[in-house]
């Protein structure tokens, strides 16, 4: 008997493309939704992204069907025949599509992250063979919450630092309503997605990489930093966790925290990067005491590009439920140390996104 037929959104993003790779490698028939962009068709973009991770994946191309569409449009921008095909065939959905930029205005990001999710859920209601939906959220739905944020937490009176956090929170609130309509929807909350733990490979140098880039420029004598924990999620470990949970665990309507490595404090990450890259160590100052008006115009532009400052918080995140389930189903956690940090820095150096001093 063949594997399930699955439908993936966000197949040209980091997590979506890696999950597509894993599913294809394991014999699934995979429909993916993608847009044409930058003079490339949807098909070309999906193939290029899969090839980036693994050239051998093209051997599984017969099981890949690329659909050109857009989650923000009615019917996902697909024709009626294609929509009916999906309704009759797909058995599982991985909804990975989202805007992950931290500086988008709420009205724009909400159109993708909330209304796009609604469009997927409406389609799901009409899918005759659909078993479950795997929704990729983020641990940062915790916003500025000061307590311990567990898997079963959502609305805990938090406020949000940026529109991205709020939009993903609103999408989860929407999912609560559709669970009540009978859909099986599991939510997965990763941290900040970074490159492969083993190779450092990544094709989007955002967020934590912007921080590394700024440090490597040695452009600030005084550097603002929040003393908090960074929840980093290597794309390969995160995808492997998600794949295991989606294929082996049959608990309905559960939330998981996909934090596969221990959090690292911002101060420890700063010291680690400094020792490896070799930049001149600036004077560190608490973010709250920092006055951006003291910077030159060029320095202000640089610091404003490091949008990760807006999302770092002191919220403590619990993975107790997730780890308990993984232990019960005999998932063996990989051994990890700071090697994965070396690998992501090495890859950024080789790609010339940052420079070693």
CA distance 237 to 246: 14
Q: Are 191 and 233 in contact (CB under 8 A)?
A: yes
pLDDT bin (cut points 50, 70, 90) of residue 262 is: confident
Instruction: Domain ranges for the chain, please list them.
Output: 5-194+233-258
Whether 1 has a pLDDT exceeding 60, the answer reads no
pLDDT digits 0-9 by tens, 309-319: 777 778 899 99
pLDDT digits 0-9 by tens, 54-91: 988 877 788 999 999 999 998 999 999 999 999 999 99
Residue with token string 């995140």: 317
pLDDT digits 0-9 by tens, 275-325: 999 988 788 888 778 787 888 888 888 777 777 777 777 889 999 999 999
Residue 34 corresponds to which tokens in the numbers above? 């993608």
**Alpha-carbon torsion (96, 2, 253, 142), positive or negative:** negative
pLDDT bin (cut points 50, 70, 90) of residue 335 is: low
Q: Can you give the pLDDT at residue 309?
A: 73
| Three-state DSSP string of 282-334 | CEEEEHHHCCHHHCCHHHHHHHHHCHHHHCCCCCEECCHHHHHHHHHCCCCCC
Q: Can you give the pLDDT at residue 227?
A: 77
Q: Can you give the pLDDT at residue 260?
A: 79
On average, the pLDDT of the chain sits at: 92
pLDDT digits 0-9 by tens, 217-239: 888 888 887 778 889 999 999 99
CATH fold group of domain 5-194+233-258: Rossmann fold (3.40.50)
């Amino acid at each position: 008997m063949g594997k399930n037929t699955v439908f993936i959104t966000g197949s040209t993003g980091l997590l979506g493309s890696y999950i597509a790779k894993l599913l294809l490698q394991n014999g699934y028939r995979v429909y993916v939704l993608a847009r044409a962009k930058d003079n490339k068709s949807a098909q070309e973009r999906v193939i290029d992204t899969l090839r980036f991770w693994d050239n051998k994946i093209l051997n599984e191309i017969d099981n890949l069907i690329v659909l050109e569409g857009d989650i923000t449009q009615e019917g996902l921008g697909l024709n009626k025949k294609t929509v009916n095909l999906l309704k009759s065939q797909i058995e599982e959905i991985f909804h990975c599509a989202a805007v992950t930029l931290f500086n988008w205005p709420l009205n724009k990001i909400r159109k993708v992250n909330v209304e796009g999710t609604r469009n997927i859920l409406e389609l799901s209601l009409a899918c005759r063979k659909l078993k479950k939906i795997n929704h990729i959220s983020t641990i940062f739905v915790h916003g500025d919450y000061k307590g311990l944020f567990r898997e079963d937490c959502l609305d805990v009176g938090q406020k949000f630092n940026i529109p991205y956090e709020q939009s993903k929170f609103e999408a989860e609130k929407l999912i609560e309503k559709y669970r009540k309509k009978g859909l099986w929807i599991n939510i997965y909350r990763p941290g900040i997605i970074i490159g492969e733990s083993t190779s450092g490979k990544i094709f989007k140098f955002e967020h934590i990489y912007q921080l590394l880039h700024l440090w490597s420029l040695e452009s600030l004598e005084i550097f603002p930093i929040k003393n908090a924990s960074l929840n980093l999620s290597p794309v390969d470990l995160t995808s492997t966790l998600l794949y295991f949970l989606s294929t082996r665990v049959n608990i309905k309507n559960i939330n998981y925290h996909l934090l596969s490595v221990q959090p690292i404090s911002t101060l420890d990450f700063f010291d680690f990067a400094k020792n490896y890259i070799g930049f001149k160590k600036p004077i560190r100052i608490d973010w709250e005491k920092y006055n951006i008006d003291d910077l030159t115009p060029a320095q202000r532009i640089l610091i404003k590009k490091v949008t990760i400052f807006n999302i770092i918080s002191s919220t403590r995140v619990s993975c107790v439920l997730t780890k308990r389930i993984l232990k019960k189903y005999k998932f063996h956690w990989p051994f990890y140390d700071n090697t994965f940090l070396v690998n992501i820095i090495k890859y950024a150096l080789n790609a010339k996104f940052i420079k070693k001093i």
